[in-house]
Structure 1
């Protein structure tokens, strides 16, 4: 089953310094029928104004992944971590037993565009931790490049959950066949371009939640940049 959520159907929030389109209930937006997808709890499509951001605030028992699409984000936390993450890099935070952090647009002149993703961890009360990883954008051309996975690697952040986040840039008229074990889920986000998944069309910024489909064909109707998450 492929359930498409068109970009224009998502809740839109504009605070002046922050423009956000959450895929799930978040903050002022609450829909009791749209709170999660498997272990996935948040997918926020955010644009943050130059020099602005989120002041110190707490988290616990959540795996938080930030994918920077353009610009750079500055992170600070009570563990002493201070880091700047740019496009081509991934930020992963394990809130675990409790963590306080702040995030800001690192630029005073340019907007920051990002996807922020939250997932329930495989167990509660983990030791809080933070990491930034880098990937080579050329390695995602016409393939699925893992940028976050349970085991991690020198090019992928490690996450405390049985899941993998892939990025791909697919040329027009090219296709990828994705297979997974029975009973798992796929969350797909079209960042740029247009795709079809087993004949189902997806426009820019559309998302799809896919269940009971262990094999699927992803084809580019035009050059497309997308994220695919393999979930339990």
Structure 2
């Protein structure tokens, strides 16, 4: 069964410097029907204006994955990490016992557009850590590329949870396929463009829960970028 979550049904706040849309309940947005899906707790689509960002704040016991769609995002944290995240780079931060961090638009002229994803960890009290991996464009082109996994397989960033995350950038008319193992669920988020998922039409910002589906076939109706979550 595929359950579609239209982009327009998400929570939406525009603070001027930040335009943010929430697929799941987050902050001041609460929807009892959309609090999490398996271990997937948050997908926020954020657009931050030039020179603006999130000041230093803390988190605990959460796997936080960032995927930039355009622009560049500058990161600093209490571990002493300082880096810039660009399209095609996956950044993960295990908040664990506690970490403080900030994210700012790295450009003084252009906005940054990114997804922040929260995944509930398999256990609490982990040692905080940070990792960032860049994936060549050719590895994302017209195929699903593993970007995050429980064991860091294929050069992906490691998650302390039984979740695999894939990304793909598809040309119009091209397709990507994946098997969903028995007993697992899938979740697809369309970051850009328009696609059909097992025949169901989806547009940018739409997401879909997949339960009892043995596989997925995504066909791009226009140049598209998608994320696929394989969830225990």
TM-score (norm 2): 0.95
In the TM superposition, what whole-angstrom CA distance separates every residue of 1:136-173 from its partner, at most 9, and x where no partner exists?
A: 12212221101111111574211111111111122333
Cα distance in 2, alignment partners of residues 155 and 49 from structure 1: 32
Task: Give the structure 2 partner of residue 130 of structure 1.
Answer: 130
What per-residue deviation string (whole Å, max 9, x for no partner) do you get for residues 165-218 of structure 1?
111122333323311211211111112222111211111221111111122222
Aligned partner of 1:9 in structure 2 is: 9
Q: CA RMSD in A?
A: 1.3
Q: What is the alpha-carbon distance in structure 1 between the residues aligned to residue 170 and residue 86 of structure 2?
A: 22
Structure 2 match to 1:110? 110
Runs of 4+ with >6 A deviation: none
Please state how far the C-alpha of 1:45 moved relative to its aligned partner: 0.5
The SS at the match of 2:11 is coil
Whether 2:69 is the aligned partner of 1:69: answer: yes
CA gap of 1:154–1:230, structure 2 versus 1, over 3 A, is closer
Structure 2 unaligned regions, length at least 5: none
- Contact persistence 1:184–1:214 (CA under 8 A): no
Q: What does residue 214 of structure 2 align with?
A: 214
8 Å CA contact 2:93, 2:128 repeated in 1: yes
Structure 2 residue aligned with 1:191:
191
Report how many aligned residue pairs link the two structures: 232
- How far did residue 72 of structure 1 move? 1.1
Asked if the contact 1:134/1:155 (under 8 Å) is kept, the reply is no
Residue aligning to 2:174: 174
Q: Does 1:28 align with 2:28?
A: yes
Paired with 1:119 and 1:76, the residues of 2 have a C-alpha distance of: 20
Q: Secondary structure at the match of 1:12?
A: strand
1:139 matched to which residue of 2?
139
Measured in 1, the distance between the counterparts of 2:173 and 2:110 equals 34
Q: How far apart, in 2, do the equivalents of 1:90 and 1:215 lie?
A: 25
Structure 1 stretches of 5 or more lacking a match? none
Q: 147-156 vs 111-120, which deviates more?
A: 147-156
